[in-house]
């Protein structure tokens, strides 16, 4: 939903990965969702080589569901569309926040990172760089490729990288703590229940 929201106001700029997806769509055809899936498959292949921990069932669910839902939300035409006034800024900021929080949330669940996130998390682990720094470097490179393909770039394309990356990191690390507390609680509850049964 966050991704489709930002694509609707793409005259302000889109996420670096979507600059690539839109550029490929305009250059080669297919749909935005299809390019999301194709690029995701390539990144899963790289992640399998770097660090298999981040590739699980959830990775493949993310791969296909995100692409499908981007196309679905754009087809529904229910999300805010470009008004070419100050409301567009609120719309794109809402989309950025939603994507940053959502990315951290599904990665913290521990059932497999999305293709892009798993790719960046595995690089972060291999290099020792922070998640935020890796995201900024990778997304800047992706942005340059998307630019060469003619993807839409404007001021929020650059703001995306510097807002969403820290939001992702904060969301991921804090929600990971919540998940760990819930797991600890469930484990302790099972132990207490087992003792009572004995």
What is the structure's pLDDT at 72? 92
Gap between the terminal Cα atoms of the chain: 49
Could you state, in order of their start, the residue ranges of all structural domains in the chain?
Answer: 2-197
What pLDDT was estimated at residue 196? Answer: 62
**DSSP secondary structure string, 57-93?**
HHHHHHHHHHHHHHHHHHHHT-S----SSHHHHHHHH
Tokens linked to 107: 């990665």
pLDDT of residue 191: 64
User: By the 8 A CB rule, do 33 and 68 touch?
Assistant: yes
Question: Tokens 């794109």, residue?
Answer: 92
pLDDT at 89: 92
Residues 75, 72: Cα–Cα separation, whole Å = 5
Contact 166, 101 (CB under 8 A): no
Helix (H, G, I), strand (E, B) or coil at 113: coil
Radius of gyration for the alpha carbons in the chain, expressed in angstroms and rounded: 18
Q: Which long-range contacts (CB under 8 A, 24 or more apart) does 186-195 make?
A: none
CA angle 105, 7, 136 (to 5 degrees): 55
Q: Count the Cβ atoms, other than its own, within 10 Å of residue 167.
A: 19
pLDDT tens digits in sequence order for the chain, 198 residues long: 888 898 889 889 888 888 898 899 888 988 888 898 899 999 999 888 888 888 888 888 888 888 888 889 989 988 888 888 989 999 999 998 998 888 888 878 878 778 887 888 888 888 888 877 888 889 889 988 988 998 888 888 878 767 877 888 889 899 999 988 888 888 887 766 666 655
List C-alpha distances in Å: 160 to 17, 49, 75, 76, 135: 10, 28, 24, 25, 11
Its pTM stands at 0.74
What Å distances lie between residue 197 and 55, 187, 188, 190, 194, CA to CA? 38, 15, 14, 10, 5
């Amino acid at each position: 939903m966050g991704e489709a929201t930002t694509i609707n106001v793409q005259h302000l700029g889109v996420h670096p990965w979507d600059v690539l997806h839109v550029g490929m769509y305009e250059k080669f055809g297919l749909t935005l969702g299809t390019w999301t899936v194709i690029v995701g498959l390539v990144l899963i292949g790289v992640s399998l080589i770097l660090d298999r921990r981040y590739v699980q069932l959830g990775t493949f669910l993310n791969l296909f569901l995100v692409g499908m839902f981007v196309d679905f939300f754009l087809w529904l035409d229910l999300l805010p569309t470009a008004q070419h006034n100050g409301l567009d800024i609120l719309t794109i900021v809402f989309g950025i926040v939603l994507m940053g929080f959502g990315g951290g949330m599904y990665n913290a669940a521990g059932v497999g990172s999305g293709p892009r996130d798993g790719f960046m998390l595995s690089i972060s682990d291999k290099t020792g760089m922070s998640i935020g720094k890796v995201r900024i470097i990778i997304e800047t490179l992706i942005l340059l490729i998307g630019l060469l393909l003619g993807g839409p770039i404007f001021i929020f394309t650059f703001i995306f990288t510097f807002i969403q990356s820290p939001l992702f990191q904060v969301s991921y690390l804090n929600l990971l703590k919540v998940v760990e507390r819930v797991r600890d609680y469930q484990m302790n509850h099972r132990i207490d229940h087992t003792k009572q049964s004995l």
